[in-house]
Chains A and B, each alone.
Chain A
């Protein structure tokens, strides 16, 4: 945001530090999601477990960034774009941390699924994962670049992920009805789909925060109420 520098260099450094930490946290969360998807695709229980162990790094960063933001609020009383940057960051780290948690959940389901020889059906799961990860990546890109247009596009893409998830549900239900032995595994698959769909929701939140940060406009809860996807 701040392409113009503050007269107060120390303040400038504090804001830069917040920004750097958010970027680091974002990169870690993206890595975690990549690893979770890889563990799922390759049925790699070890990778899943290692990913679960890495989550504490995300949690630590969340606490650290919150603390930095509090310091800036207390010491600098930021206004205008700086205020929007700090308040957006405070919320954004919560979304990132939740994405980390959802990756942990995903990896837990993967380890359970690995106890059985095969997946029932993957259905649109790989596509949901890909779309959600792209949303996360683009929302963080939009944050870095202060690009509200890109952020708006992320928000719009949430529908795509919702639509994929709506396909997954009946597919897995049909599977369970035809073969009761896959019920347990199918519910795991369904959970994974849900986690990924939630990750896309958090990426959407980040997109909305970026629009607020750049333009000062609150675009949350403005979508039409009628497009609730079935089963979602």
Chain B
């Protein structure tokens, strides 16, 4: 007698449950190419020694940088109200939140750019490796060499050629390029711009398209060989194709750099970031692995913001 005995089998002898059930449920938010296959138990172990980002929880982050009770003000107006945030080394951290929540200010505190604005002050500590960058004996210019920044609008120096734009960061920091041609090529190759501009390096940086200009600005930041790259809405002025290129670039740069990206585009955060922090009114509301934030956030305010139920 052969009755249908198989109907209940999947329920009883399904694959062994991964220890962290939520990681599977929330796989959807993982970026392209880093989907479920890579996270299945049968996946081959990665050869690299660095930990798999999707197995690292926020409490296990090995921080490259760390903000500790960070406050920042413009005059008497406090815009960052005591934020503590570890930033994982050689991974991408996204900061999201509504306008005015302190996203941009907070990353400008990470390389001492905030204090450049007249009347702007900072309180608290920011650790870069084992050094508080706000210690008295720390030279902010050196900090900015180690922690580079890319801005919202592509801002190549208008009077400079493509080549000089790449070298501009070095020269402004008083560093004489040892191998200028090699450094220019290396930086432009890193941002996948070399093939597009190698025959016109002497042309003005502003002659490039918006997307190319932004990659040029990223090359300019990379020429200084920073350890951390801060990106303040790097794609908000770009079309979808140029945006996709920058995002692809972020995936590649993650191999060598620690990246912090501020973005208004939540899908972008979901695509590129390993960890996502949600800021609201100058405070850190929630910080977690990106796939957790976008599939099952713990805080109601995060849920309301990312689903568009705000205010």
Is A79 within 8 A of B266, CB to CB? yes
A196 to chain B, nearest CB (A): 12
A-contacting residues, B260-311, CB 8 Å: 266-267, 270, 294-297, 302-304, 306-311
Stretch at the interface among B7-15, B185-193, B199-207, B222-230: B7-15
Closest A residue to B24 using CB positions? A218
- Contacts A194-B3, A225-B12, A231-B3 hold; do A7 and B26 have CB atoms under 8 A apart? no
Is B28 within 8 A of A87, CB to CB? yes
B-contacting residues, A158-194, CB 8 Å: 162, 190, 194
Number of A-B contacts (CB under 8 A): 87
B215 to chain A, nearest CB (A): 25
Is A216 within 8 A of B309, CB to CB? no
- Contacts A79-B307, A216-B25 hold; do A232 and B5 have CB atoms under 8 A apart? yes
A-side contacts of B266, CB under 8 Å:
79
B-side contacts of A162, CB under 8 Å:
8
- Contacts A216-B296, A217-B21, A220-B14 hold; do A80 and B28 have CB atoms under 8 A apart? no
Is A5 within 8 A of B309, CB to CB? yes
Is A84 within 8 A of B295, CB to CB? yes
- Contacts A79-B29, A83-B294, A83-B295 hold; do A6 and B8 have CB atoms under 8 A apart? no
Q: Mark A120-145, 1 if CB is under 8 A from B, else 0.
A: 00000000000000000000000000
Is B304 within 8 A of A4, CB to CB? yes
Is B294 within 8 A of A201, CB to CB? no
Q: Mark A38-78, 1 if CB is under 8 A from B, else 0.
A: 00000000000000000000000000000000000000011
Main secondary structure of the interface of B (DSSP, over half): helix
A-side contacts of B307, CB under 8 Å:
6, 78-82
Main secondary structure of the interface of A (DSSP, over half): loop
Q: Tell me if B4 counts as interface (CB < 8 A to partner A).
A: yes
Q: Tell me if A119 counts as interface (CB < 8 A to partner B).
A: no
| B21 touches which of A2, A7, A190, A218 (Cβ 8 Å) | A218
- Contacts A79-B294, A80-B294 hold; do A221 and B270 have CB atoms under 8 A apart? no
B-contacting residues, A184-232, CB 8 Å: 190, 194, 197-198, 201, 212, 215-223, 225, 227-229, 231-232
B180 to chain A, nearest CB (A): 44
| A222 touches which of B5, B17, B28 (Cβ 8 Å) | B17
Is A7 within 8 A of B5, CB to CB? no
B interface list, Cβ under 8 A from A: 3-5, 7-8, 10-15, 17, 21-22, 24-26, 28-29, 266-267, 270, 294-297, 302-304, 306-311
Given contacts A6-B308, A194-B7, A227-B12, 15 further A-B contacts (CB under 8 A): A4-B304, A8-B308, A11-B308, A77-B267, A80-B302, A80-B303, A84-B296, A162-B8, A190-B3, A217-B21, A218-B22, A228-B12, A231-B3, A231-B5, A232-B5
A interface list, Cβ under 8 A from B: 2, 4-8, 11, 77-84, 87, 162, 190, 194, 197-198, 201, 212, 215-223, 225, 227-229, 231-232
